[in-house]
């Protein structure tokens, strides 16, 4: 099989940056925003955030099953914020 490596994405909200380890699942209070194929993931939707507030988003990308050998994939994220 030849082609790009299939990637799975999990996006969660966590309480602190420490709750999003580089390896392993997020810890603490976790809200799952998205889980599925990383390609074309757009279902995170609109979220309201009060002035002066913040959120910690945790993104984990993993290689899918039966991935081709000696192949590579690239991931990029785009974020948009609107002030209303």
71 vs 50, more confident: 50
Burial of 50-80, coded b for 16+ CB within 10 Å and e otherwise, reads eeeeeeeebebeeeeeeeeeeeebeeeeeee
What's the confidence (pLDDT) of residue 2?
46
- And the tokens for 20? 């999003």
Element (H, E) at 57: strand 56-63
pLDDT tens, position by position, 3-58: 577 888 899 999 999 999 999 899 999 999 888 888 777 756 677 888 888 899 99
């Amino acid at each position: 099989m030849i082609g790009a490596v299939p990637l799975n994405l999990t996006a969660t909200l966590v309480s602190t940056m420490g709750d999003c380890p580089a390896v392993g699942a997020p810890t603490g209070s976790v809200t799952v925003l998205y889980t599925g194929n990383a390609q074309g993931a757009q279902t995170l939707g609109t979220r309201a955030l009060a002035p002066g507030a913040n959120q910690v988003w945790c993104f984990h990308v993993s290689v899918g099953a039966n991935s081709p050998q000696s192949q590579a994939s690239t991931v990029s994220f785009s974020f948009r914020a609107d002030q209303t």
